[in-house]
Amino acid sequence: MIELRHFRYFLAVAEQLHFGRAAEHLHMAQPPLSMQIRQLEEKLGVQLFVRSKRKVELTEAGQVFLEEAQKVMEAVARASSAAQQASQGVRGRLRLGFASSAPFGIFPQVLRDYRQAYPHVVLELQESGSAEQLLALQERRLDFGFVRLPASATNLRVQAIDREAMILALPESHPLSRQEPLHLREFRQDRFIIFPRRDGPGIYDRIIGWCLQAGFTPRIVQEVGQMHAIVGLVGAGLGVAMVPESLQTVHARGVVYRHLQDEPYIEMALAYREEPLNPLHQAFADLALNCPNHAVGRQQAGSSPAFC
């Protein structure tokens, strides 16, 4: 078995073409170095150097071995550097889950800031509902999840990182499409398109709760798992929908967005396992929880608007 030290000794002699100078460079005596090179040649079954009293030269086999030995040492250096970077949290792989509405809010900024700060970390992204993300975190199929509150699960930490208003997406033909702000009670006769509870129980329960607080039970005609698809169905005239304010960037034909008088809101949270974080995970958590544009501080967490 050829050991790493054999490569190091060989490269020193090949560079100096002089056993004495190579031994000096390696801070060792010449006889042990000569013995190590002979041992390497015996293991390979080839002669690597032509030795004479006046000079040392590489054989043809020695020249070929030199090229490969340099590659081996470069690979060792890369592996060492990668291991050190991983221990410092600047290299590795992160598996991130995100709700379908996340790309319209703070999530893209977190990714941009993290990519800029840690360019050597590979990000694996998986779109799924909040409930599925929480399960995947518990089963260690994800490292972090971007979920909608309220959300909780055993052995998971869920921390709010962003808050945004919920607004109404209306067909252009709706009688109230030109008014703003609106009261939710004005839509007691309307059909609602909503996100499925199985995918996002937090946002589903809040919409139902807001409607009940406004004095009616919403008439749900369609449940759709993608926010942009919800907007598309609104444009088709199938109903109205409560959506995050950031979804206004989706310019669907036949759709207008209007704010509500009582300004209901939803929160985005970072979810991860409640255990000591390694440097890689800690760096991501620190960045996501301290993203400069998060809006959690604008309103006390847990407060609830009153509808009338």
308 pLDDT exceeds 60? no
305 lies in a domain?
no
pLDDT of residue 202: 80
C-alpha 224: how far from its chain's center?
25
The predicted-structure confidence for 191-238, as pLDDT tens digits, reads as follows: 999 988 887 788 889 999 999 999 999 999 999 888 888 999 999 999
| Residue at 162: amino acid letter | D
pLDDT of residue 89: 67
* Stated pTM of the model: 0.66
Other CB atoms within 10 A of residue 84 CB: 11
pLDDT of residue 24: 93
Cis amide leading into 108 (omega within 30): no
261 lies in a domain?
yes
pLDDT > 70 in the chain, percent = 93
304 lies in a domain?
no
Other CB atoms within 10 A of residue 197 CB: 16
pLDDT of residue 295: 53
CA pair distance 13, 21, nearest whole angstrom: 8
Average pLDDT, the chain: 88
pLDDT > 90 in the chain, percent = 64
**Based on the domain organization, do 277 and 260 belong to the same domain?**
no
**Based on the domain organization, do 154 and 279 belong to the same domain?**
yes
Mean pLDDT of the region 228-255: 90
Give the domain CATH number at 203: 3.40.190.10
**Based on the domain organization, do 134 and 110 belong to the same domain?**
yes
Joined tokens for residue 6: 């054999």
CA pair distance 94, 111, nearest whole angstrom: 11
Mean pLDDT of the region 119-146: 93
Least confident of 6-10, 209-213, 282-286, 287-291: 287-291
241 pLDDT exceeds 90? yes
Query: 83 versus 172: which is more confidently predicted?
Result: 172
**Based on the domain organization, do 138 and 286 belong to the same domain?**
yes
Joined tokens for residue 154: 């055993």
pLDDT of residue 222: 93
**Based on the domain organization, do 258 and 172 belong to the same domain?**
yes
Residue showing tokens 């900024």: 109
The predicted-structure confidence for 47-67, as pLDDT tens digits, reads as follows: 999 988 788 999 999 999 999
**Based on the domain organization, do 253 and 127 belong to the same domain?**
no
Least confident of 58-62, 81-85, 152-156: 81-85
Q: How many domains does the chain have?
A: 3
**Based on the domain organization, do 183 and 222 belong to the same domain?**
yes
Q: Beta strand pairing status for 265-273 and 144-148?
A: antiparallel
Mean pLDDT of the region 114-135: 91
**Based on the domain organization, do 79 and 96 belong to the same domain?**
no
Helices 60-87 and 279-289, interaxial angle, to 10°?
50
Mean pLDDT of the region 7-36: 93
305 pLDDT exceeds 60? no
304 pLDDT exceeds 60? no
In terms of residue numbers, what domain contains 196? 165-265
Give the domain CATH number at 11: 1.10.10.10
Query: 144 versus 201: which is more confidently predicted?
Result: 144
pLDDT of residue 234: 95
274 lies in a domain?
yes
Q: Report the candidate in 174, 291, 284 with the shortest Cα–Cα distance to residue 235.
A: 174
14 lies in a domain?
yes
Least confident of 123-132, 184-193, 294-303: 294-303
pLDDT of residue 302: 38
Q: Beta strand pairing status for 265-273 and 156-171?
A: antiparallel
